[in-house]
A and B are shown apart, each in its own frame.
Chain A
Amino acid sequence: MGFTSMLLQITVLRLLLSTFSGNELDIGITLSFWLIYVGLGSYIGKKIKLKHAFTLSFILIALLAQPIVIAIKAIRPVLSLEPGEIVSLTSTILSTAISLFPITFIIGLQFPLAVSYSGGSNAAGRVYGLEALGAFIGGVFFTFVISSRVGAFELCLLLALINILIALYVSKKKIITLILIIPLFFHFGFHKIATVLPWHGLEISETTESRYGEIAVIKVRDQSSVYANGHLIFTYPDSQSEEMSTHLLIAIHPSPLKILVIGGSPGTLKEFLKYPVEKIDFIELDPKIVEVSLKLLGIREDKEAVKDPRVNIIVKDGRRFIKGLNKPMYDLIVLTLPQPSTASINRFYTTDFFNEAKGVLKQDGILVISIPQSTGYIGKRMQTASGSIYNSLKYVFRYVEVTAQEYGDLFASDSVINTDPEILENRFIKRAIKTKHFNQYIFRDAFSPLNVDYVKKRLGGIKLINTDIRPSAYLYNLMLWAEIHGGKILHYLLEIKGWNVILFSGILLVFISFIVFRKKKRVIYFSIFTTGFSGMSFVLAVILAYQSIYGYVYEMIGILSATFMIGLWIGTIITRNAKMPLRILFSLEVMTILLAIISPLFFKAELLFYVLVFISGAIIGGQFSTANLSMDEPEAGGKIYAMDLVGSFMGALIPSLVIIPLFGVTNALLLIAFIKTFSAAMILSLIQIQR
């Protein structure tokens, strides 16, 4: 059960992310609906008295697994979106809510059914633990076996078959074997449609799975465009863009010999090679993207460029690579990544990264970054989003120069940067570079003093800086996204201030404390609710911190979840026969508070992250188990599970939508400690009664 659930969750998450070209916000939304439906299912599951319900649940899951893939892939055509059109927040939430419902509801039902099936003392605790174990295996399995090898549709076929076999085992009725035919038939019948569906209107030349998501290549005439998780990464061949993103930038440096290019189209390499460079290091994180790009290269100069001895294609995370170098060697670093709409991309726009980049730049080296282009006017949201990047650059580098707003480039260096259009024009002419589209007159337009002044004035007013732990650029890109899609709710949410949150949650918590004071059942429910809430927020905060610092959460999400799950399982095992459950529950609450406060210390080393996740899993598992033992009713298991899930739902939604983007990870952790303090106090009040 846990195995299926985990794999389905990861699959569905990846599919939805790709459909909505999404970011961590979508993760929060998906998780919250997943949790609320499972919670609902487990609450209702208690009431089901149907014979063979347990068997039936496995069969239903098996039959729904593949259709859910089709359903998610059909979201875009169903919403009548134009190819390449972004989905609005309301549509995102609605379509996630609708597509997830059937299968997650049944997964929820399974928990109480499993409990009654297994019977015995603390059955709930045992089932919870075993489910966690299954999820752990699923997570590991995904990371090491499935990711980048098996597609979503195939995986669901596998899950369907496994679940039918389980149904067979549980019910011991041979006839169920016949049902195996249905998923197989479905697979062969709908396989083609599944691939084509989300890209309706566009011609697909190739789709493939990478560790980081789905890679697709779309063709319009002779031009191919590479997409990662629904985001357009680059287009090839596109000589206009390739020339624009090289010749304009490289002119800024009087003699660039060693260049580092992070991301972008491999078509830019031949353009850089037109200059007398000594070395070009080209970094791309995803090996599948590199593979796909190299296959696309059709023009002779491009094929030769990648084989040129001066060119080094490195498949690694840009930040890790730079951290590994730690000595100045580059004259020019060109960052050609998309805008920070996800935490993993935001890592390349933070002061932490800029400092690392500065470390590998020579004294007169220049870092080049791009921000979105605007015509005529830079809107308020864009101003804040781009301004926070501009300001972060100024925080680290002595000199920062800009192009006119239609070109969207920023240059940073510790030495003076000359952007006099005449000088740049002459430099370009003297170098006698042959280009098809780029010309010397572009410098006058790109660096026209009036427009440069406009941009500097517009961006200079912003005082925010963007850091790994407090990703402001990511937040403001979220706001920008809200502005584009007129998501009014998001607009208001993003205006919330810190003291609003403290005041509101403080009042709410005090109020709840009054209601539950010294009433055992209510206190336990409250405790589990806060456990679910803080557990989920904690995990999200930690995932975001991990993402921000190390960047490859999608790859490791299997292992991270698995570690959490194994912690959960161990937690339930250790407390299985707890003699004084309430006291243990209290100590676990206190441990949560302490952990929340000291966790930023764990962010220093990668291994410590896993330790952190493991410990939090163990504490939560222990809390669930002891809460269950503290209740005097045997069927409380399902209700507690439901409470846990409702808490987790809110813990997934509110922090990812509001708390973390607005206030950062550290403050989110403090909020968790704050909430848990109330819960611990309530348990203490119960213990005092018992005395």
Chain B
Amino acid sequence: MIKRVQCELCPNECVLENGQHSRCRARMNKDGTLYSLVYGKPCAVHVDPIEKKPFFHFLPGTTAFSIATAGCVLSCKFCQNWQISQAKPEETDNYDLPPDKVVSQAIAYKCRSVTYTYTEPTVFYEYMYDTAVIAKKQGIKNTMHSCGYIKEKPLRKLSRYMDAADIDLKAFTEDFYSKICSGSLKPVLNSLVVLKEEGVWLEITNLVIPTLNDDMKNIKEMCKWILKNLSSDVPIHFSRFFPQYKLTNLPPTPLETLIEARKTAMDVGLKFVYIGNIRQEGESTFCPKCKRLLIERIGYFVKQNNISNGKCRFCSTSIPGVWS
């Protein structure tokens, strides 16, 4: 009897023979049943400011209890977290942290949210889901940082418990996704639309890499797509590439490129465009209407917050985001 199994979690749609591991390394076929190898076994557990995830319009100034297991659905050549994302769960040193313990620890460390991040939360879907259910019941918010490479059905199911998502929109060409990440752009765009429909608070990150995805024309197309299919309210974070993993000899992104990307995005009509990991006025939030300073950020530190009841303190415009 053939005990083949197909995983339907992400667009890789791995077909696994008995005993075979999935491409993301976190799942396995055992006698015709698909098992998660990482449930309750994170290898990275830290308390971080939520601005690091990066979330700028979600509970600013609070901390997030961040967890991740080994494995990832893609294999990006510039991955910062390659030591876990490209590893096998059998190789990493893992904690034993079942869902309820995640939530109780988050509360003990005074975190307002649990963030599923570092690697790709899609690979520990069941763990994330169960934890999210318990967290919601106890008043803890759920956020995730994902590459969006997940199929629609599981994403919609998860969205009922996910309060915010930061999606890596790595580039706007299929070529980049296939050559550099061994994946595809289309499913990511689809996930973005689904998240918006489900009412999950959405922020987007784009890592600008010299010569690979720094073409301003493509960045402009990307911003236009965001404007058209999502909203002008979605915050965009452009971040600076540093030599990493397989691209250890590519120069880091020049500041001018990031500044130009931000200008391009704002010219297209996006309201909240930030330049991450470089200190600039591109790190603070300004009111789109009266232009006054709403949230002053220095690095990950929130110095002042002029938003009350979700509105600008000065002109009472409603500011998109989740503020409490």
Q: Give the interface of A toward B (CB within 8 A).
A: 21, 82-86, 201-202, 218, 220-223, 225, 227, 230-232, 235, 238-241, 374-380, 382, 436-442, 444-445, 450-451, 454, 484-485
Give the chain B neighbours of A218 by CB distance below 8 A: 251
Closest 3 CB pairs of A and B: A84-B250, A379-B83, A441-B301
Give the chain A neighbours of B222 by CB distance below 8 A: none
- State in angstroms the CA–CA spacing of A230 and B84 once bound together: 27
Q: Give the interface of B toward A (CB within 8 A).
A: 43-44, 46-47, 49, 66, 68, 77, 80-84, 87, 91-93, 117-119, 179-180, 210-212, 240, 243, 245-257, 277-279, 298-301
Is there contact, CB below 8 Å, between A202 and B211?
A: yes
Is there contact, CB below 8 Å, between A85 and B251?
A: no
Give the chain A neighbours of B82 by CB distance below 8 A: 484
Smallest CB gap from A437: residue in B: B279
A638 to chain B, nearest CB (A): 43
Is there contact, CB below 8 Å, between A377 and B299?
A: no
- State in angstroms the CA–CA spacing of A527 and B298 once bound together: 71
A388 to chain B, nearest CB (A): 17
Is there contact, CB below 8 Å, between B248 and A82?
A: no
B83 to chain A, nearest CB (A): 3
Q: Residue A439 contacts which of B47, B87, B299 (CB distance < 8 angstroms)?
A: B299
Q: Given A84-B247, A227-B249, A375-B118, do A441 and B299 touch, yes or no (CB 8 Å)?
A: yes
Give the chain B neighbours of A230 by CB distance below 8 A: 249
Q: Residue A86 contacts which of B44, B49, B66, B248 (CB distance < 8 angstroms)?
A: B248
Is there contact, CB below 8 Å, between A82 and B77?
A: yes
- List 17 other contacts, CB 8 Å, given A376-B66, A377-B81: A83-B211, A84-B248, A85-B247, A86-B249, A202-B211, A223-B254, A232-B243, A238-B252, A240-B255, A241-B252, A376-B118, A377-B68, A377-B92, A379-B84, A442-B299, A450-B47, A454-B46
- State in angstroms the CA–CA spacing of A231 and B256 once bound together: 24
Is there contact, CB below 8 Å, between B81 and A375?
A: yes
- State in angstroms the CA–CA spacing of A441 and B246 once bound together: 31
Give the chain A neighbours of B252 by CB distance below 8 A: 223, 225, 235, 238, 241
A-B contact pairs, 27 of them (CB 8 A): A82-B179, A83-B211, A83-B249, A84-B249, A84-B251, A85-B247, A220-B251, A220-B257, A222-B254, A223-B252, A232-B251, A235-B252, A238-B252, A376-B66, A376-B81, A377-B81, A379-B87, A380-B91, A380-B93, A382-B83, A437-B278, A439-B298, A441-B299, A441-B301, A451-B46, A454-B46, A484-B246
B119 to chain A, nearest CB (A): 8
Give the chain A neighbours of B92 by CB distance below 8 A: 377, 379-380
Instruction: Classify the secondary structure of B's interface with A.
Output: loop
Q: Residue B279 contacts which of A201, A231, A436, A444 (CB distance < 8 angstroms)?
A: A436
Give the chain B neighbours of A380 by CB distance below 8 A: 91-93
Give the chain A neighbours of B255 by CB distance below 8 A: 223, 239-240
Residue among B44, B77, B248, B298 with max Cβ neighbours from chain A (10 Å):
B248
Q: Given A377-B81, A484-B245, A484-B246, do A201 and B211 touch, yes or no (CB 8 Å)?
A: yes
Q: Residue B300 contacts which of A82, A83, A441 (CB distance < 8 angstroms)?
A: A441
Q: Given A221-B254, A450-B47, A454-B46, do A376 and B68 touch, yes or no (CB 8 Å)?
A: yes
Q: Given A221-B254, A232-B243, A444-B301, do A82 and B212 touch, yes or no (CB 8 Å)?
A: yes
A302 to chain B, nearest CB (A): 16
- State in angstroms the CA–CA spacing of A21 and B243 once bound together: 14
B51 to chain A, nearest CB (A): 10
Is there contact, CB below 8 Å, between A82 and B180?
A: yes
Smallest CB gap from B248: residue in A: A86
B297 to chain A, nearest CB (A): 9
Smallest CB gap from A448: residue in B: B47
- State in angstroms the CA–CA spacing of A218 and B240 once bound together: 18
